[in-house]
Amino acid sequence: MPYSRSFDEEEGPVQIVCRHLRSKAIYVAGQMEPGIEQETMGSGHCWCNHTQHILGPDDTLVDRRGCNSGRTCYEAVL
């Protein structure tokens, strides 16, 4: 049986992420495109470059969908 992936909730569009969000994909692909789906960008494991951990400065888990302008530690890319 082939692998199939299912989600309980429909995912919304990816917002512009924080400048401190890091993923292995950024070093492999050269840049982290906010509009590209997670399947094309590796395992999805992310960390905060500010804390060097999977938790951000606000003690919340770091991920591509959650590290956006709604967090207190968010810093815009530009």
The pLDDT, as a whole number, for residue 45 is 84
Residue with tokens 């951990």: 53
The pLDDT, as a whole number, for residue 13 is 57
CA 24 from chain center: how many Å? 11
pTM of the entire predicted model: 0.61
23-58 per-position pLDDT tens digit: 877 777 555 555 555 445 456 789 999 999 999 999
The pLDDT, as a whole number, for residue 38 is 47
Q: Is the pLDDT of residue 64 over 70?
A: yes
CA 68 from chain center: how many Å? 9
